[in-house]
């Protein structure tokens, strides 16, 4: 039985760690991780990452491991970028895990679950001569009472940034056919009319332009092919990945930033409006006799007779 | 001044209900988009977690998920049963109770969006001149156990069994799959995802079809029956378990004239016949939603009262009764107002 087509990507409002972390688990394969991470040599990584990857933009793959919910560990693997470590911001910016530097090894960077749990902003950065490249993504550790992540998302972390407005909330995810907003900013200031590229692991590509407030509305494409179920994302639900990328030149430097996340099939996949309405109508019809005025019956109490 | 705006308890309650309908259905738009922004995540009302704009959500989904993913799964790996497994559930129940303590079952009569939607439909039914189908005492008795059955099986039993691997995984949140509030609140936010039937597996399909049909039935039945869904609502029974622990109470004293009167019974949207025939503890029945209509329509002084820590918040009175029945009959029929369809005939 497929584990959880239940509540396809809707808020499953539990308060415990339960499904949360698993849900945001992305779809990296082990081999990909190993390949892309065979060393810190820039050229080697770029060369090896490319043919395997569905995009040339820098991305972060996160996979979770550990059997018990309490001891979940996530492994962050950078792709198409040569970085020495991963920076992780937690949704509780002021505590000791507010910002951590995670060392990278062959398998990736380990992100333990801090007691505060909640959302983490992950980034890898590469600076070579006049080129600055940033990969960024989000990971969620389920935890009751985790702090509000809005400040963490809005906090300036790099020069050029793509910030989700908002990110899908806990127990929810990006889904095909949905519109989501992103803010593009440079040194903390919104970038109007900035070109953004969207690429998906299902092969879609499109270009968008930010509005006067630096906001782009991204329609997640419904590009799952009928034959391929898609890769299994957490909760066993078919999933794919998308990346948004922006490039901006300033002060003789060229900045490239990418934000990647997983997305699932459309909300209406494996749902039928027609049947839904059909059964609702059926129920309605069943209640219609109640609407008719009843005739007084022999055994009625006096007040019931009066009513009738 | 206050008397002018709220001439009756009924008007006051109606205002609170409308405000709470907006809070529970659309309030998240003000609070923020993340679940942590929700007020309590364990409300004693059917504010629905599937409504993407809700400001809070009900305790039932929390129960189901914790039983499924935490307790059920941990019970299977017997060695891992520590207090820690139960902590989130205990926290949820404590959060729930922190709210419940203050208002008791008034969460049903004053806050629950599903309760309000049904009352609004009943009002529309009055305007359309539809009859009132009352539950006779023996019918009420017959229906009452259903809410306990739903709580036991759909909210507690099946999710636990699913977590332990004895039931299919889709049975992890079976009550949510049939819950009419999921459909009512999401449709109120113009979201059609929930009304669309899930066709993924047979269980999903069957439960979904049942839920949609029940929702359809409730919407139409509510035009001619008061609170049709509340009578079998598992949150009514869940709340009833904690009812006696709250200082907010419905208090009825023994009064000889009750036997011949029975107006409060007619006014009760839950057809609780005990309110007219009993007194003391028995009169504050497990089905009571603390709507206060019985106290409004009791024609004698202080026979029925709503008390908080023993302090009288509202009590029946002859004068109040006289003005109240001028506006609306105990059964909820508005007076001195145009009743379109009925008059057109
Ligand atoms: S479907 Fe019903 S029980 Fe489930 S979260 Fe919504 S209101 Fe609560
Ligand atoms: S009994 Fe009625 S008012 Fe109370 S929670 Fe259930 S639906 Fe809401
Ligand atoms: S007993 Fe009174 S307060 Fe309780 S539901 Fe009936 S009318 Fe409302």
CA distance B268 to A29: 61
The residue among A36 and A137 whose pLDDT is bigger is: A137
Q: What is the number of other CB atoms lying within 10 angstroms of the CB of residue B328?
A: 22
The 10s digit of each residue's pLDDT in B255-291 is 999 989 999 999 999 999 999 989 988 999 999 999 9
Q: How far apart are CA A183 and CA A191, in angstroms?
A: 8
The predicted model gives A45-61 an average pLDDT of 68
Q: Which helix (H) or strand (E) holds A59?
A: strand A59-65
Q: Please report, for chain A, the start and end positions of each structural domain, with discontinuous segments joined by +.
A: 38-264, 273-303
- Contact (CB, 8 A) for B289 and B103: no
- Smallest Cβ–Cβ distance between A272 and the set B130, B199, B217 belongs to B199
Residue A156: how many CB atoms within 10 A of its CB? 11
B47 CA distance to ligand 1 centroid (A)? Answer: 7
Extract the runs of DSSP E, i.e. beta strands, from B236-345: 248-252, 304-308, 311-315
Q: Is the CB of B238 under 6 A from ligand 1?
A: no
Q: Calculate the CA dihedral of residues A267, A272, A273, A276 and round it to 10 degrees.
A: -120
Distance of CA A39 to the CA centre of its chain: 28
Q: How far apart are CA A17 and CA A34, in angstroms?
A: 29
Counting ligands in written order, the one closest to the CA of B42 is 1
- Reply yes or no on whether the pLDDT at A17 is more than 80: no
**Using one digit for the tens of pLDDT, what is the confidence trace for B281-305?**
899 999 999 999 999 999 999 999 9
**B:27-46 residues touching chain A, CB 8 A cutoff:** 32-38, 41-42
CB contact under 8 A, A1 and B201: yes
Whole-number Å distance, alpha carbon B274 to ligand 3 midpoint, is: 10
Average pLDDT over residues A113-119: 75
Give the angle A267-A271-A276 at the CA atoms, nearest 5°. 120
- Strand pairing category for A195-200 and A205-209: antiparallel
Span B163-184, pLDDT tens digits: 888 888 889 899 999 999 999 9
Pairwise CA distance, residues B222 & A178, whole Å: 34
**C-beta atoms of A16 and B69 within 8 A:** yes
Decide which of A299 and B45 is more confident: B45
The answer to whether the beta carbons of residues A217 and A179 sit under 8 Å apart is yes
More confident residue, A109 or B240: B240
- B64 CB-side CA count, 13 A: 26
Q: Relative to the CA of B173, which ligand 1 atom is closest?
A: 4
User: Among all ligands shown, which has an atom nearest to the Cα of B105?
Assistant: 2
- Picking from A276-285, B26-35, B111-120, B192-201, which range would have the lowest pLDDT averaged per residue? B26-35
Q: Residue A228: is its pLDDT beyond 60?
A: no
As a whole number of angstroms, the longest Cα–Cα distance in chain B is 72
Is the per-residue pLDDT at A39 higher than 80? no
- State the pLDDT at residue A45: 40
**In chain A, what is the straight-line distance between the N-terminal and C-terminal CA atoms, in Å?**
53
Cα–chain center distance at B278: 23
Band (B87; pLDDT cuts 50, 70, 90): confident
For ligand 2, atom 5: residue with the closest CA: B45
Cα separation, B55 vs B41, whole angstroms:
9
- Cβ–ligand 2 distance for B230 under 6 Å, the answer yes
3-class secondary structure, A204? coil
Q: Is B211 left (phi over 0), alpha (psi -120 to 50) or beta?
A: alpha
DSSP one-letter string for B221-267: HTTTSSSTTGGG-HHHHHHHHHGGGSSEEEEE---TTHHHH-HHHHH
Q: Which of A179, A174, A181, A182 is nearest to A201 (CA)?
A: A174
| CA atoms of A54 and A202, how far apart (whole Å) | 8
The B residues from 310 to 329 touching A (CB cutoff 8 Å) are none
Question: Is A307's CB within 8 Å of B132's CB?
Answer: yes
Q: Which CATH superfamily is domain A38-264 in?
A: Immunoglobulins (2.60.40.10)
Query: Which of A138, A264, A280, A307 is the best mutation test for B, with the most CBs of B within 10 A?
Result: A280
For A139, A219, A284, B288, the CA distances from B272, given in Å and listed in that order, are 51, 52, 26, 7
The pair of structure tokens assigned to B72 is: 């059920």
Ligand 3 midpoint to CA A147 (Å): 40
User: Residues A246, B181: contact at Cβ < 8 Å?
Assistant: no
Interface membership of B20 toward A (CB under 8 Å): no
Q: Which of B58, B230, B231, B240 to mutate to test the pocket of ligand 2 (most atoms within 8 A of CB)?
A: B230
Compute the distance between CA of residue B26 and CA of residue B88 in angstroms, rounded to an integer.
27
Chain A contact for B212, CB < 8 A? yes
Least confident of A119-123, A304-308, B207-211, B341-345: B341-345
Helix (H) or strand (E) holding A104: strand A99-105
Whose CA is closest to atom 1 on ligand 3?
Answer: B288
Q: Does residue A91 surpass a pLDDT of 60?
A: yes
Helices (H), B104-170: 106, 113-127, 137-150, 158-164
Q: Which ligand is nearest to the CA of B303?
A: 3
Look at residue A147 in the predicted model and tell me its pLDDT. 75
Whole-number percent of chain A with pLDDT over 90: 42
Residue B204 near residue A5 (C-beta atoms within 8 A): yes
pLDDT at A298: 59
Q: Which residue has the tokens 């996160």?
A: A62
- Closest ligand 1 atom, CA of B175? 3
Q: Is B180 in the pocket of ligand 2 (CB under 6 A)?
A: no
Helix (H) or strand (E) segment spanning residue B320: helix B318-327
Rounded to the nearest 5°, which phi and psi values hold at A124? -125, 145
Q: Quote the mean pLDDT of chain A.
A: 76
Burial class (CB in 10 A: 0-12, 13-18, 19+), B241: exposed
Q: Is the dihedral of CA B206, B44, B264, B252 positive or negative?
A: positive
**In angstroms, what separates the C-alpha of A194 from chain B's closest C-alpha?**
26
- Whether ligand 1 lies within 6 angstroms of the CB of B50 is answered as yes
Domain spans in chain B, listed from the N-terminal domain onward: 8-237, 247-327
Enumerate residues 283 to 312 of chain B having a beta carbon within 8 A of any beta carbon in chain A.
Answer: none
Q: Number of A to B CB contacts under 8 A, please give it.
A: 191
Tell me, yes or no, if B209 comes closer than 8 A to chain A by beta carbon: yes
> So what's the pLDDT on residue A232?
45
Q: In this model, does residue A122 exceed pLDDT 90?
A: yes
Residue of B108, B275, B304, B315 to test ligand 3 pocket, by largest number of atoms within 8 Å of CB? B275
Mean pLDDT, residues B135-140 taken together: 91
pLDDT at B170: 85
Is residue B311 pLDDT above 90, yes or no?
yes
Looking up tokens 């006799």 gives A289
B198 touches chain A (CB under 8 A): yes
Q: Which of B30-44, B47-61, B230-244 has the lowest mean pLDDT?
A: B30-44
* Cβ count within 10 A of residue A133: 23
Sequence-separated (6 or more) residues with CB below 8 Å from residue B245: B97, B101
Least confident of A26-40, A219-233, A245-259: A26-40
- pLDDT band at residue A50, thresholds of 50, 70 and 90? very low
For residue B178 the two structure tokens come to 């049939």
pLDDT at A144 over 70: no
Residue A151, phi then psi, degrees to nearest 5: -60, -40
Best CA proximity match to A6, nearest among B55, B167, B93:
B167
Mean pLDDT of B119-126: 95
CA neighbours closer than 13 Å in the CB half-sphere of residue A141: 31
Identify the residue whose tokens are 């953004």: A196
Return the residue whose CA atom lies nearest to atom 4 of ligand 1: B176
**Which ligand 2 atom sits closest to the C-alpha of B227?**
2
State in Å: Cα B112 to ligand 3 middle: 15
Q: Give the pLDDT confidence score for residue A297 in this predicted structure.
A: 60
What is the C-alpha to C-alpha distance for residues B279 and B289, in angstroms, rounded to an integer?
Answer: 17
Residue in chain A lying closest to B58 (CA): A13
Dihedral of the CA atoms B107, B110, B114, B119 (nearest 10)? 150
pLDDT (tens digit per residue) in A151-193? 888 999 999 999 999 898 877 889 999 999 999 999 999 999 9
Q: Mutual orientation of helices B180-188 and B202-221 as an angle, nearest 10°?
A: 70
B126 touches chain A (CB under 8 A): no
- How far apart are the C-alpha atoms of B105 and B102, rounded to whole Å? 9
Query: Residue B169: closest CA among chain A residues belongs to which residue?
Result: A3
Asked whether the beta carbons of B95 and B63 are under 8 A apart, the reply is: no
Higher pLDDT, B154 or A65: B154
Cβ pair B234, B175 in contact under 8 A = yes
Interface test with A, best of B196, B225, B331, B332 (most A CBs within 10 A): B196
Q: Per-residue confidence at B99, pLDDT binned at 50, 70, 90?
A: confident
> For B21-36, what is the mean pLDDT?
82
Interface of B with A in 245-274 (CB under 8 A): 266
Ligand 2 in reach of B106 Cβ (< 6 A): no
Report the pLDDT averaged over residues B144-148.
96
The residue count of chain B comes to 345
Nearest CA to ligand 3 atom 8: B291
């Amino acid at each position: 039985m497929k584990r959880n087509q239940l509540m396809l990507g809707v808020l499953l409002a539990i308060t415990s760690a339960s499904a949360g972390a698993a849900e945001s688990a992305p779809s990296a394969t082990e081999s990909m991780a190993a390949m892309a991470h065979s060393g810190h040599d820039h050229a080697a990584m770029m060369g090896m990452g490319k043919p395997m990857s569905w995009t040339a933009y820098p991305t972060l793959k996160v996979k979770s491991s550990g059997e018990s919910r309490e001891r979940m560990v996530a492994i962050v693997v950078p792709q198409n970028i040569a970085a020495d470590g991963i920076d992780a911001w937690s949704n509780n910016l002021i505590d000791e895990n507010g910002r951590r530097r995670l060392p990278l090894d062959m398998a990736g960077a380990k992100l333990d679950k801090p007691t505060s749990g909640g959302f983490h902003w992950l980034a890898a950065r590469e600076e070579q001569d006049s080129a600055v490249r940033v990969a960024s993504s989000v990971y969620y550790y389920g935890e009751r009472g985790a702090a509000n992540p809005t400040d963490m998302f809005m906090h300036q972390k790099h020069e050029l940034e793509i910030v989700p407005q908002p990110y899908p909330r806990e127990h929810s995810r990006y889904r095909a056919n949905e519109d989501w907003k992103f803010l593009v900013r440079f040194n903390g200031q919104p970038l109007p009319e900035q070109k953004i590229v969207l690429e998906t692991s299902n092969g879609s590509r499109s270009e968008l332009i930010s509005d006067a407030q630096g906001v782009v509305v991204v329609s997640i494409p419904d590009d799952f092919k009928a034959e391929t179920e898609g890769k299994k994302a957490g909760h066993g639900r078919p999933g794919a990945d998308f990346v948004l990328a922006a490039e901006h030149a300033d002060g003789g430097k060229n900045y490239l930033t990418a934000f990647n996340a997983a997305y699932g099939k459309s909300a209406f996949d494996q749902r039928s409006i027609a049947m839904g309405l059909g059964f609702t109508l059926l129920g309605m019809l069943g209640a219609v006799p109640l609407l008719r005025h009843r005739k007084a019956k022999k055994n009625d109490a006096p007040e019931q007779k009066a009513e009738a | 001044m206050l008397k002018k705006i709220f001439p009756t308890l009924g008007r006051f309650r109606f205002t609170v209900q409308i405000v709470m309908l907006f809070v529970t259905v659309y309030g998240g738009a003000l609070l923020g988009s993340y679940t942590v922004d929700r007020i309590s995540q364990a409300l004693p009302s059917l504010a629905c977690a599937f409504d993407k704009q809700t400001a809070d959500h009900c305790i039932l989904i929390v129960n189901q998920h914790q039983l499924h993913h935490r307790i059920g799964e941990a019970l299977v790996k017997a060695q891992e049963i520590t207090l820690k497994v139960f902590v989130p559930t205990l926290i949820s129940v404590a959060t729930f109770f922190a709210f419940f303590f203050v208002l008791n079952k008034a969460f049903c009569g004053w806050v629950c969006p599903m309760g309000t939607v049904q009352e609004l439909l009943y009002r529309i039914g009055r305007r359309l001149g539809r009859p009132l189908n009352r539950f006779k005492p023996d019918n009420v008795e017959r229906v009452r156990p259903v809410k306990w059955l739903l709580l036991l099986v759909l909210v507690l039993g099946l999710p636990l069994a699913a977590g332990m691997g004895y039931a299919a995984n889709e049975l992890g949140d079976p009550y949510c799959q049939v819950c009419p509030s999921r459909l009512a609140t999401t449709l109120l936010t113009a979201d059609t995802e929930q009304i669309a039937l899930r066709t993924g597996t047979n269980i999903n399909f069957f439960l979904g079809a049942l839920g949609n049909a029940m929702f359809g039935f409730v919407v139409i039945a509510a035009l001619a029956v008061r609170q049709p869904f509340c009578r079998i609502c598992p949150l009514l029974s869940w709340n009833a378990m904690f009812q006696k622990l709250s200082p907010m109470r419905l208090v009825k004293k023994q009064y000889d004239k009750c036997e011949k009167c029975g107006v409060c019974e007619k006014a009760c949207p839950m057809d609780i016949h005990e309110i007219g025939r009993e007194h003391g503890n028995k009169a504050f029945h497990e089905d009571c939603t603390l709507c206060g209509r019985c106290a409004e329509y009791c024609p004698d002084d202080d026979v029925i009262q709503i008390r908080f820590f023993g302090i009288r918040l509202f009590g029946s009175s002859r004068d109040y009764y006289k003005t109240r029945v001028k506006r609306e009959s105990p059964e909820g029929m508005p007076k001195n107002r145009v009743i379109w369809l009925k008059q057109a005939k």
